[in-house]
Amino acid sequence: MKHLRFFTLGLLFIFSSAQAQETLQIGYFNEWPLPAHYGQISGAYDEVLGADTQWNGYNSSTAMFAALETGNIQIALSQGLVPFLVVSTAGLNFKIVDIAVSYPDNEKCFVHPDLQFSAGNTGVLNNATVALAVGTTAHFNLNRTLTNFGIDPAGVEMLNMAPAQAAAALTQGKVDIACGWGPSLTTLQDFGTVLLSPEQKTKIGIKNYDVIVIRSDFGTENPVVVAKFLKVTNELNASYTANPTRMILNIAAPLDMFEDTVKASMQGFEFPTITEKLGEDWLGGGVQTHLKQLADFFVLQGTMNKTLDNYADTVDPTYLQTAAILPLIEAE
């Protein structure tokens, strides 16, 4: 029987062509670099799956989820937790099957220097004016942070602003606190005092991460395909963690991004191991609990109309469990 063989980052994979599938359509966000794009260029996914993969770029969660629902794509490589929460609560039959990336350092809140905020002077946050994107994880995380400091979140004024606007408002002295992510962080951290470090956020249970999502019926019909996709993705993640520099060029190429931009965008990205992600902090219960907490919070804030009783059925770790035991060399 013919086998397909290739080397990727020094690892040999051998998979039978008898298991070939039709073209696998993968959705990703434009200008959101991940190690998986190295595999897009190297052909790693095509070889392991014994099939062609086609990569489709999107500019919004709405567009990517619409493509997933219609079957134009089968796997969403990276989706935000809140957009997933919205569509799953609405009844769309999608499943979280893996954690795409954790970025605890990529979303932060900063305090205006005039407040002279410090860990020993948290009282200055009382009655503060805050600029942030309402109905996002930043909103939820700020409330948890304020509560941790003994500040009543109901006592602060929330102004709904996109990150760039929030950063500008802080530097202009129009607000006391601004929260943001992405490019806005450069402005914020050059001007303000950070509210919580990544280590402090982790300590009080604040997380920022994206998830890999599939349609439930696709997973049911193609469990090995999903598991193999996750296997390759996690091997690429591990290789990036070990040596990011050698992968940057091939991550940048399919996204049509400059290498320096990719380096800056991926600064602070973390890729937990499969073992870690199957543990209770992630797919073993943590994500399900986090989804419920977010839903209850957004209903209270009026940004969602309803919540599910629980979100256990929106997460399926079985594909990742299978990926964990798949060999790098598959015998005939």
User: pLDDT band for position 5 (50/70/90)?
Assistant: very low
Q: Which CATH superfamily is domain 3-103+208-325 in?
A: Periplasmic binding protein-like II (3.40.190.10)
pLDDT above 70: percentage of residues in the chain: 92
Bridge partners of residue 211, in order along the sequence: 79, 99
Range of 4-8, 105-109, 185-189, 310-314 with top mean pLDDT: 310-314
Q: Do domains 3-103+208-325 and 107-203 have the same CATH topology?
A: yes
Q: Please, which residues have CB within 8 angstroms of residue 242's CB and are 6 or more apart in sequence?
A: none
Q: Which long-range contacts link 271-275 to residues 24+ away (Cβ below 8 Å)?
A: 271/35, 271/101, 271/102, 271/234, 271/237, 271/238, 271/240, 271/241, 272/99, 272/102, 273/234, 273/238, 274/234, 274/320, 274/323, 274/324, 275/324
**Average pLDDT taken over every residue of the chain:** 91
pLDDT at 106: 86
Report the CATH architecture of 107-203: 3-Layer(aba) Sandwich (3.40)
What's the pTM? Answer: 0.88
Q: Where are the domains of the chain?
A: 3-103+208-325, 107-203
pLDDT single digits (tens) 24-40: 999 999 999 999 999 99
Asked if pLDDT for residue 184 goes beyond 60, the answer is yes
